[in-house]
Structure 1
Amino acid sequence: MATYKINQNKLLQELVAAVAEDKMYWVRNDAKIRAATTSKSYDEFRDIVAAAHLQPIKNKDKERRQRSWNTLTDGN
């Protein structure tokens, strides 16, 4: 009987990737269901599904960033 050595780091990386992929699948699926009843065109449907993973910026994220988001406007 052959014995195999399991690379636990690789196994953990594969598990994390699979969980993230599954989460993304369900986020997009929920967006598809919502968009199917609310969108007026295919382009709007596609945009809703494509942006399903985006989340609004929180106030604490804004406060962490000291400099301007647009570097062309702050003189740099």
Structure 2
Amino acid sequence: MASQREVIDFSALEAELQTAVESDRKYQRENDTKLRAVSQGVPYNQFRDLVLTSHLKPLDPKDKQGGPWKQPWNPVAPGNH
């Protein structure tokens, strides 16, 4: 018979692992951005903006204006149905 100390909560363990993995990805992404910004010699305001927006991805050519409209900004507004 297993005691309470021997029971492993795998869902909590998996959630903790996912949080740690995402935290590591964020650290690596921001650190890479910092190193790139320092090597470019950007001013502090631009450095800060680059780090804060490091999670954003560039648009594909198909995502630019003139392509098919996929998601309206305000789906409740008239004319966006």
Smaller-chain TM-score bracket: 0.7 to 0.9
CA distance in 2, matches of 1:74, 1:36: 47
TM-score (normalizing by structure 2): 0.69
TM-score (norm 1): 0.73
Equivalent in 44, 54, 69 of residue 73 of structure 2 = 69
Aligned length: 72
Q: Which runs of no fewer than 5 residues in structure 2 stay unpaired? A: none
Listed one character per residue, the Cα deviations across residues 8-54 of structure 1 (whole Å, up to 9, x for unaligned) are 00000000110010011000000000001224311011011111111
Q: Distance in 1 between matches of 2:68 and 2:16?
A: 35
Alignment RMSD, CA only?
2.9
| Larger CA Rg, structure 1 vs 2 | 2
Shift of 1:57: 3.7
CA distance in 2, matches of 1:18, 1:56: 26
Paired position in structure 1 for 2:6: 4
Q: 1:14 to 1:34 in 2, by over 3 A?
A: same
Tell me which residue corresponds to 1:44: 46
- Closer, same or farther: CA 8–56 of 1 in aligned 2, 3 Å: same
